């Protein structure tokens, strides 16, 4: 049975993804020129990444596995245990890179990359949910 914490985290992740999908612009120009939209998208992407890392850490703890020393490494631990695929682990590890830039170097965000992420890679978070919520 899944813990209440994982259930609440999954609900939060779904809410972040929905918010991104609802606000996702149709063009890169809209994203580049709308600071409010940038804030909504980047904050919810940061949260989505953080929630997946948190969920991974919870699963690792619940299974008494050796935790990773890094956020990105959390996904490698899950892949090593065949909880998620190696391919998904690599994709989610890349998302940690976005989160770090967004949190620590906001002015360096590549909005073209973000646009691609929100249009073509939100499915990685959904795949993560399907993999861990069994």
* Residue in 107, 123, 120, 116 with CA at minimum distance from that of residue 28: 116
pLDDT in tens, 62-108: 999 999 999 999 999 999 999 999 999 999 998 987 776 676 665 77
pLDDT in tens, 115-130: 999 999 999 999 999 9
Q: 114 exposed, middle or buried (CB, 10 Å; 0-12, 13-18, 19+)?
A: buried
Mean pLDDT, rounded, for 40-54: 96
- Percent of the chain past pLDDT 70, that is, above it, reads 93
Determine which helix (DSSP H) or strand (DSSP E) holds 83, and give its type and residue range: none
For the chain, the residue count is: 134
User: Do 13 and 129 touch, CB atoms closer than 8 A?
Assistant: yes
The mean pLDDT value of the chain amounts to: 93
Tell me which of 3.30.750.24, 1.20.120.580, 3.40.50.2300, 3.40.640.10 is the CATH number of domain 4-133. Answer: 1.20.120.580
- Structural domain boundaries in the chain: 4-133
């Amino acid at each position: 049975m899944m813990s209440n914490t994982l259930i609440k985290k999954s609900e939060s992740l779904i809410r972040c993804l929905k918010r991104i999908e609802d606000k996702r612009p149709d063009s890169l120009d809209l994203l580049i020129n709308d600071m409010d939209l940038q804030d909504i998208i980047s904050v919810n992407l940061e949260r989505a990444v953080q929630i997946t890392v948190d969920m991974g850490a919870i699963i690792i703890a619940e299974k008494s596995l050796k935790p990773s020393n890094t956020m990105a490494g959390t996904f490698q631990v899950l892949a090593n245990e065949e909880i998620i695929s190696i391919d998904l682990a690599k994709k989610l590890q890349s998302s940690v890179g976005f989160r770090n830039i967004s949190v620590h170097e906001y002015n360096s965000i590549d909005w073209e990359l973000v646009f691609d992420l929100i249009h073509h890679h939100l499915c990685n978070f959904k795949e993560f949910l399907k993999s861990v919520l069994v």
